[in-house]
Amino acid sequence: MKIKNISEPKKFFEVLEQCKGNVELVTSEGDRLNLKSTLCQYIALTQMFKDAKIDEVELIVSEPEDLNLLLNYLVRK
């Protein structure tokens, strides 16, 4: 799943904390970072945020219910 324009990263990571399975960020080099890990969240923040906004990220979600949780967040934002 590709997500664009995450303007409130803190809320995005709060939703990720509610996910039961793995949520991985795919980097431009093809590496996968587990966004349930605080260390990986820090790496994502330092590498990708410009002006407190993420333009586009690709996520891989292991649990269907987590996909629904993220989609609900995206619809409400």
Question: What is the rounded CA–CA span in Å between residue 42 and residue 66?
Answer: 21
> Could you tell me the residue range of the domain that residue 29 belongs to?
2-76
Angle at 54 between CA 11 and CA 19, to 5 degrees: 40
Domain count, the chain: 1
Please give the pLDDT value at position 23.
94
* Cβ–Cβ under 8 Å, residues 63 and 20: yes
* Residue-wise pLDDT tens digits, 29-49: 788 989 989 888 887 777 665
**Considering the entire predicted model, what is its pTM?**
0.75
* Residue-wise pLDDT tens digits, 44-74: 777 665 555 566 788 999 999 999 999 998 8
Please count the CA atoms within 13 angstroms of the CA of 31 that sit on its side-chain side: 8
